[in-house]
Structure 1
């Protein structure tokens, strides 16, 4: 790490192909939108020599804004990989979007990485979404470190933010979250603030000065030592508490001076095991500078303290038919297992698949087996195909640097995998394997779309298929009841990006239309009706008369048809015709145009003609009889009701329950979830839930999550039904 005595920047430059897993570090950057993740990635690339000047690669384009949608929206909307090299180590930096709508990109980054770097803005602090991701990483033991940015912001302070991180992220062991450095301040400005010009190493007790644009190192003055003594002692005690050497604590308490080299070794081991989480500070390089504040220290932490792919382990694998397989290791000579963590479309190259190689070695121009299972509910049908791998490359802005191979532990872009989708497994053709896809949140914001023109309609199916293949958090539905094409998204920003990608990448213009929920109607009381279909126009006429009764049934009963004709009033061969006509009319609806359900229709009388009666005539008569019953009886509009579970921090339970009640929901109860959070269960009409994904996020400041499942159809209140039908131009229910 950079706090080693006499530490100095190692060999720096662009990341070449790794030759062994031990020379690879895969790091995902996590943090809320605006925390400075992308700026930090650029600073690390500049400090390592991968960039020649701030924010620009050799072709003059920006390292981060290579996606035109990101450029327009001024925020990251997708996972991006930036490989750099430091001290002979290839560091794959995975920059993730901070906005909650793009949590799928974050989950993909977590799957591909072996350690996480949490970026926290000193101006904004730790938000609820960051806490949730921290807890998720803690649950699987992923090593984590914290970087505090925006130190020059008003009211910002590194020490104060460190305490916030200890309180918010430290959990039951806040002494596992401690700074490795303290900021060194320059001369005070006119507004009373002082710029951070360097870092003081707590273990080495040396000053790393960045004020001249290049990092320099010198010993501390005698007057600078006392203020840092308390923080240094706390750090040493925190390292010793996590040390695998059980005698170290006894020696320390006995007054023995701990060797700095031993402390650093124990610190690196504790970080790699995920039990100690150092806090560092960082700031971008200024004009003419190559090294931003804290970038060298951070690169040293990544290469010295974060685990190698060999240490992190591999998710379990099976055969495509589900048979278990022995656990794999991160061995370049082992069986090939790689996973597609991101899929994108390049206008010149075509489809590009970002893959993490977990075992074996992936080479260009070889044939691999592509397995995708377990995501059929999101529109990704199970598939097993063989495909030829195209060129391998390492992305850097708009550039693609060719790779000869990608070994176990590394990440690479693969060209021309036409069938591979995000979450798919690549394995050897002769020994197919399957890695279960990572957990993805359900998209809960429905967006109904229609092709803008006939030309767009011809391209819509293919464009949507490619869009969904890229993003497993998106689900495509062709609703059989409303006949709408519905794109389920994570939120409004996700929706905007999806529609923009359809237009700009796939050349498909769509219009959004109001989303419909599948309503039903039923009879509120019994009724009797007569269907008479008699026509004579020369030759064979049409003659059919039937009399029916309709009575309501309990919810979920569907349509029940009963034959009680006596004496052959309706010939036996025409009774199925009457039933067919009744069911066809019920599917079309009788008053509002919504399907009729939960009734018993009884045929008890009728008349036929020996020549003019026919199947078609009795179908028409049956439909007319059902419509006459509806004209005489009161009908009800039925709406779908969902079982909803909302998980929120305890502070927001009251607001969530009040909001659910305002949506005509019935709160069924609450129960404690994890420490500090509560699950609220309720039944809520689905017509009130269309924007709940957006509203809950706003209400809970990004910390709430919910799930819903169809429960049943229930009668809609008469006033609400009248408003719905009036809006759709239908007939008022309940007449």
Structure 2
């Protein structure tokens, strides 16, 4: 009833009553459905009745016979359909305006199944999805969150599905097959913890300082042949790089990424790092995980020969390189016959090529999607050794790359943008400007969903742009799709930037 600043109430389609919130205390007032909304409410209620009937065969028969359901049948059917996850009740609320909160709580109490009676999905030891009998399962708990406390250390938050988890006991972590000593268990009351003797089935509790237990793990009796089904975490849509100076001990060649569901999510996490652990992080845009590959097949020769007095070094190999399909990574093929290279030195050639390809050729990114065939070579009975053939493999790789037309690959993301339809044209234009390719569009009520494939490098600042252009009313989801070749004019800039960064790193190392 109303929208935006004029939002002042809701129509309950089950009770067919209007619930309004007009006084300062926002106390709900229950009354009749406004006349101007009666037609819309009747139609919506009929759709709800039909939806509930479809979830139960007996109710469907009643629906066909009578053309509708009684009030008692609707309420009972809605509760059953919700418990079976066929129907998800939707309640309109505004936390900031304190509107609709009481109906929300009433809906949870009326239609959502009690935690004590809910059976969580499990995965058996042979990988099959199944269910368990709460009466026979004993004690079993699911770890749903893990937090770090600067004073208490790791705090594990769990839900007891059946049985009870007691203080000063031992429980087995089925997920990682280790036993954990349980100290004092507690109930969470806001930020405070209330120590108790046990946490019973259906309740949420906490315990500190479990060594090997992580989010998603199952705690149960030793010998339990199943664990709760693992969580499916939402893919992050935004990542930022934490500077190495903020986290001591991080390798200079590594980058530590902080990923989340948006700019606000990441800012809150950074604030927590500062408040709890005294870590100040000035976030930067992350490096793009480019890859390198080749476009044509060629042959190459690598010879390593060195004489420094006494035993020298000698390794000689000939290879063929060829492109592979996207996503094939790397293949090494041994076609040595007649002992041109002793069998013991062939793995050394592969190792040299492997090390060289991980360092790349154009810009220092790993080289993928190609094969190397070792087909000939020579050796010295005294001077040849594994190191010599490893060096020969590296030289052969670099010789091949000089003629195989190496190129850069970039990650391309599947992107789905969801925003009011008024912004659809501008959003599609913006995605096209980011080298995106629109693959679909769907209207959902007053909103539009736009699906596109966009290079990751073009999406690093998209969250801020989307928020600005839609007034905060747009959202998006992003996940990896595939690698594709970088356009030539952009490739030159990426290579130049990579070489400049490598040069800066050498200067910092004193080289």
Q: Same fold (TM over 0.5)?
A: yes
The equivalent residue for 2:432 is 661
Which of these residues, 458, 467, 491, is aligned with residue 721 of structure 1?
Answer: 491
Show CA shifts across 1:287-311 (max 9, x none): xxxxxx999x949974996468649
Deviation string, structure 1 residues 136-184 (Cα, Å, up to 9, x no partner):
xxxxxxxxxxxxxxxxxxxx44xx533xx56xxx8xx6x8675335635
Are residues 358 and 655 of structure 1, via their aligned partners in 2, closer, same or farther at CA, if it must alter by over 3 Å?
farther
Partner of 1:636: 406
1:314 Cα deviation after fit: 0.7
Instruction: Return closer, same or farther for 1:401/1:309 CA change in 2, 3 Å cut-off.
Output: farther
Matched, 1:364 2:167: yes
1:180 aligns with 2:27: no
Alignment of 1:113-512 (within 5 A): 125=4, 156-157=5-6, 160-162=7-9, 178-181=17-20, 183=22, 196=24, 201-202=29-30, 298=102, 302=106, 306=110, 310=114, 313-318=117-122, 321=125, 324-326=130-132, 328=134, 335-372=138-175, 382=176, 385-397=179-191, 399-427=192-220, 434-437=227-230, 439-449=232-242, 451-452=244-245, 456-457=248-249, 483-506=254-277, 512=283
Change (3 A) 1:384 1:177: farther
User: Secondary structure at 2:430's aligned position in 1?
Assistant: helix
Residues 272/490 of structure 1: CA separation in 2 closer, same or farther (3 Å cut): same
Residue aligning to 2:62? none
CA gap 1:181/1:403 in 2 versus in 1, 3 angstroms: farther
The structure with higher relative contact order (CA 8 Å, sep 6+) is: 1
User: Does the CA-based 8 Å contact 1:521-1:589 persist in structure 2?
Assistant: yes
Residue 610 of structure 1, CA deviation? 5.6
Which whole-Å CA distance do the structure 2 matches of 1:584 and 1:444 have between them? 32
Q: CA distance change for structure 1 residues 270 and 414 in 2, over 3 Å: closer, same or farther?
A: farther
In the TM superposition, residue 723 of structure 1 has moved relative to its aligned partner by 0.5
Aligned residues: 467
Structure 1 position 722, deviation (Å): 0.8
Mapped to 2, the partners of 1:294 and 1:556 lie a distance apart of 52
Q: Give the whole-Å Cα distance in 2 for the aligned partners of 1:716 and 1:693.
A: 23
How many angstroms does 1:646 deviate by?
1.6
**Residue 538 of structure 1 aligns to a residue in which SS?**
coil
Q: Structure 1's 391 and 573: CA in aligned 2 closer, same or farther, altered over 3 A?
A: closer
Residue aligned with 1:505, SS: helix
Q: Give the 3 Å change call, closer, same or farther, for CA 411–671 of structure 1 in structure 2.
A: same
Structure with the greater alpha carbon radius of gyration: 1
Secondary structure of the corresponding residue to residue 22 of structure 2: strand
Q: 2:365 aligns with which of 594, 607, 627?
A: 594
- Structure 2 distance, partners of 1:627, 1:682, is 37
For residues 561-613 of structure 1, the C-alpha deviation after alignment (integer angstroms, 9 at most, x for no partner) is 67788998x55569725555444433333343233344555667766556545
Counterpart residue number, 1:19: none
Instruction: Give structure 2 stretches of 5+ with no counterpart.
Output: 53-58, 60-70, 83-87, 502-511
- SS at 1:729's partner residue? helix
**Cα offset, 1:419, TM superposition:** 4.3
**How many Å separate the matches in 2 of 1:180 and 1:515?**
49
Q: TM-score, normalised by structure 2?
A: 0.67
1:461-481 CA deviation, whole Å, 9 max, x = no partner? xxxxxxxxxxxxxxxxx9xxx
How far apart are 1:720 and its partner, in Å? 0.7
- Give CA-to-partner distance per residue, 1:352-411, whole Å, 9 cap, x none: 444444544444334444455xxxxxxxxx5554442514234245x4444455444444
Unmatched tracts of structure 1, length 5 or more: 1-119, 126-155, 185-195, 204-227, 247-262, 285-292, 373-381, 461-477
Matching of residue 517 in structure 1 with residue 288 in structure 2: yes
1:684 to 450, 454, 474: 454
Cα RMSD after superposing both structures: 5.4
Q: How far, CA to CA, are the matches of 2:193 and 2:170 in structure 1?
A: 22
Residue aligned with 1:721, SS: helix
- Superimposed CA distance per residue, residues 97-153 of structure 1 (whole angstroms, 9 cap, x where no aligned partner): xxxxxxxxxxxxxxxxxxxxxxx9x9x83xxxxxxxxxxxxxxxxxxxxxxxxxxxx
Q: TM-score, normalised by structure 1?
A: 0.50
Indicate if the aligned counterparts of 2:122 and 2:131 stay in contact, CA closer than 8 A. Answer: yes
Alignment check: 8 A CA contact 1:548 1:602 kept: yes
1:183 aligned counterpart, secondary structure: coil
Counterpart secondary structure, 2:266: helix
Instruction: Mark the CA change 1:687 to 1:177 in structure 2 (over 3 Å): closer, same or farther.
Output: farther
3-state DSSP class of the match of 2:311?
A: coil
